[in-house]
Amino acid sequence: KAGVTQTPRYLIKTRGQQVTLSCSPISGHRSVSWYQQTPGQGLQFLFEYFSETQRNKGNFPGRFSGRQFSNSRSEMNVSTLELGDSALYLCASSPTSGTGGYIQYFGAGTRLSVL
Amino acid sequence: AQTVTQSQPEMSVQEAETVTLSCTYDTSENNYYLFWYKQPPSRQMILVIRQEAYKQQNATENRFSVNFQKAAKSFSLKISDSQLGDTAMYFCAFKGTQGGSEKLVFGKGTKLTVNP
């Protein structure tokens, strides 16, 4: 079974541009979560999508948005990029969403550099 | 809000020896899950071990085991017979059960180096 796939792996953008990152979860997984990883702040939760609905959102500005499609694939978008948005963006999928301790499987990440 | 603290930014161990990574957390919830994830230099985050808070028994996965002290809100990871491939960042993570979300709260991580 294929793992979580994130594209692209690397991205270079300039300030003010916008960017879209993609995540294909493990087949059959319906929950997709996004995390931002930086040396200073560590791993921070961005948002979670389940059955095309956002279930939870972290403490990030409105420039960060996401969506999930009917096949569970998810995209996240960052508009008006700032230098501080440079980070590794990780996507994780799990079979479902709720009160269970489901294991989240992570993709290799997208390394975004904002110049 | 839940918080997870890993007090050891870096650790090193000799191959074949045992090392323990510390993690403490803060929550008002009674039911929750705790995880240790490993992130090797290649960056893919991999689950090492999972603990359910309502289970008294400490989780074990081959060379990896945890010491879960619920009252003390402590969740340490012990790696026995350390191998070079264990070199990685290790993250402790918390998942609550209120709110019905898969959100994980991570600690800042411990960089473990296994020396030959």
What's the average model confidence in pLDDT over A25-52? 95
In this prediction, residue B113 carries a pLDDT of 97
Q: Give pLDDT, residue B102.
A: 85
C-alpha–C-alpha distance, residues B86 and B104, integer Å? 23
Buried b (16+ CB within 10 A) or exposed e, B44-79: ebeebbbbebeeeeebeeeebbbebeeeebebbbbb
Per the listing, tokens 């493990």 go with A26
Cβ contact B108–A50 (<8 Å): no
Q: Residue type for A106, please? A: F
Residues of chain B that touch chain A, judged by Cβ-Cβ distance less than 8 Å: 31, 33, 35, 37, 42-47, 50, 52, 91, 95, 97-109
Query: Is the confidence at residue A69, as pLDDT, over 80?
Result: yes
Residue B50 in tokens? 């999972």
| List of chain B residues with pLDDT < 70 | none
Whole-number pLDDT of residue B50: 96
Q: Is the pLDDT of residue A43 over 90?
A: yes
Q: Please tell me if residue A112 touches chain B, with a CB cutoff of 8 Å.
A: no
- Check residue A80 and give its pLDDT: 96
Give the pLDDT score at B101.
81
> What integer pLDDT is reported at residue B99 of this predicted model?
74
* CA–CA gap between residue B20 and residue A7 (Å, rounded): 35
- Interatomic CA distance for residues A115 and B10, integer angstroms: 30
CB atoms within 10 A of CB B36: 26
Percent of the residues in chain B that have a pLDDT greater than 90, as a whole number: 84
